[in-house]
Amino acid sequence: MGSTHTIRDTQSTGEPVLRASSGAEPLLRAGGGAHADGTAYASDTAHADGTAYASDTAHAGGAAPTGSVAEPLAHFADLDFDRSQRCGFPEVVYGAGKTPEQVVSIVAALLEHHEVALVTRASDEHAQALKSAISDSNFVASCGLLYVDRRALPLRIEGETAPAVLEKDGGGGNVLVCCAGTSDLSVAEEAAVTARIMGSHTTLLTDIGVAGVHRTLRHQDTLRQAHVIVVVAGLEGALPSLVAGLVDVPVIAVPTSVGYGASFGGVAALLGMLNSCAGGVSVVNIDNGFGAGLIAHRINRPPARFTDEATNATGEANRAPSANLTRHTASPASSVPLSASRNTAANSQTRENR
C-alpha cells in the first residue's frame, strides 16, 4: 500500500476518509455504500487486490484488524508528562475533535507515567474504543467525562454516573456545586466529577434555581459549610448573585448555553454573571464545567506548601500576642477591647490613605 502514514481526505460525498499518503484506496470510511465503479466501501468488502479490509479480518500480513491504520503518537500529540509535578494533576485530554484512536493512544501513554487519566468532552465512540483497549476505563456519559483511575482508595473514584462517583467517601475539603435547573445538569456534573477526581470532596445540589427561591434558601446550612461554591445556570444567569449574597466564600459562576433565542447560546447568562451585584463572584466560559471544577479544587485544596506556611504563621501569631496583651492590660486603655483597638487603627489608616 505504500506509506502507512495517513491523512484525512474526502470523497465527492464529503465523508471523512483515512487514506494512505500514497493516494491508494481509502482505508476506512464511515458507513456503507459503494464507489462510483460499483466496488463496495471499506466497511463492506475487500481491496482491489483481494485483501480484506481492516474491519472484516486480518491484513494480508497477518496483523490483527484495528479499524484503521495506527498513527504514531508523535504525529498528533506532544504530551506534557511533567504537568502533574508543576500543576498537581496530569495533563487532561480534550476529547472533542480527536479520533477514538488518538484518544486511546494518548491515554495509554499517560498511564505509562501516571495512575490517573481524564478525558473531557468524550463521545460514545471515544468510550467504546478506550474500553476495548483499556478494560478499567469508566465513562460518565451524562457529562462526557472518560477516565481511568488506578490510584489507591480513598482518592480513587469509581462509577459511571455522577451520583455514583460523588456518593463514595474520599477527597478533602468541601466543594459544593449548585445547579440551577435540570437542563444545566450536564455542565454541573462535569464540574463536580472534575473536582472529585482532582482530589476534593464534592457535593452536588440540583434544581435550586431562582424561579423558586425557597429551593435555594432551604440549603443555606449546606451553602455556608462549603469552602468554595460552583454555581451553574443558564437563561438570565441570576443564581450566582443570590448564592454569593448568602456566603463568605468564593463563588465560581458557570453560564450555560441553555435558554431561548435572546439567551444567545449562553451569552446573556455570561454577561449577567459578569455584572453580578454580589461580591466574590468569578466567571468562567460558557458551559465550561471542567474549568470551574479545576479552579474550585485549587481553591479548596491549595498546595501543601501554603498550608504549611499558614500553620507556621498561626503558630507564631499565637505565641507573640501574649506580650502585647500584657502591655495592653497594664495600660490605662485596657478597658478598650483589643479588636476595637485594631478597628480604630485600621480606620485611621484608611483616612490617612484618602
As given in the structure block, the three cell numbers for residue 96 are 472533542
Contact 51, 44 (CB under 8 A): no
In sequence order, the β-bridge partners of residue 229 are 176, 251
8, 143, 272, 183: which is closest to 283 by C-alpha? 272
Q: Which pLDDT value is given to residue 129?
A: 96
User: What DSSP line would sit under 98-109, residue for residue?
Assistant: --HHHHHHHHHH
d(CA 248, CA 225): 10
The sheet carrying 281-283 orders its strands as: 200-205, 172-179, 228-233, 251-255, 281-283
User: Helix, strand, or coil here: 165?
Assistant: helix
- C-alpha distances (whole Å) from 203 to each of 84, 188, 189 are 25, 11, 10
- C-alpha distances (whole Å) from 77 to each of 93, 145, 160 are 11, 20, 27
As given in the structure block, the three cell numbers for residue 64 are 490483527
What string of pLDDT tens digits covers the 354 residues of the chain? 444 333 334 444 444 433 333 333 333 333 344 444 444 433 333 434 444 433 333 333 333 334 455 788 888 888 989 998 899 899 999 999 999 999 999 999 999 999 999 999 999 999 999 999 999 999 999 999 999 999 998 889 999 999 999 998 888 999 999 999 999 999 999 999 999 999 999 999 999 999 999 999 999 999 999 999 999 999 999 999 999 999 999 999 999 999 999 999 999 999 999 999 999 999 999 999 999 999 999 999 988 777 666 555 555 544 444 333 333 333 334 333 433 443 434 443 333 443
Strand-pair category, 228-233 with 93-94 = unpaired
Global pTM value: 0.68
Tell whether omega for the bond before 154 is within 30 degrees of 0, i.e. cis. Answer: yes
d(CA 217, CA 246): 9
Residue type, 96: A
What torsion, rounded to 10 degrees, do the Cα atoms 240, 242, 243, 244 define? 80
User: What DSSP line would sit under 118-140, residue for residue?
Assistant: EEES--HHHHHHHHHH-TT-EEE
Q: Which pLDDT value is given to residue 30?
A: 37
Strand-pair category, 116-120 with 145-149 = antiparallel
d(CA 300, CA 229): 10
With both helix axes pointing from N to C terminus, report the angle between 338-353 and 321-330 in degrees, rounded to the nearest 10.
Answer: 100
Report how far apart the first and last C-alpha atoms of the chain are (Å, whole number).
79
CA 26 to chain centre: 36
- Give start-end residues of each CATH 3.40.50.1970 domain in the chain: 166-302
With both helix axes pointing from N to C terminus, report the angle between 124-133 and 100-111 in degrees, rounded to the nearest 10.
Answer: 50
Q: Which pLDDT value is given to residue 311?
A: 53
Contacts of 40 (CB under 8 A, 6+ apart): 32, 33, 34
CA 297 to chain centre: 10
d(CA 76, CA 328): 68
CA atoms within 13 A on the CB side of 65: 13
CATH number of 166-302: 3.40.50.1970
d(CA 254, CA 184): 10
- C-alpha distances (whole Å) from 98 to each of 15, 102, 119, 131 are 16, 6, 11, 16
d(CA 315, CA 302): 19
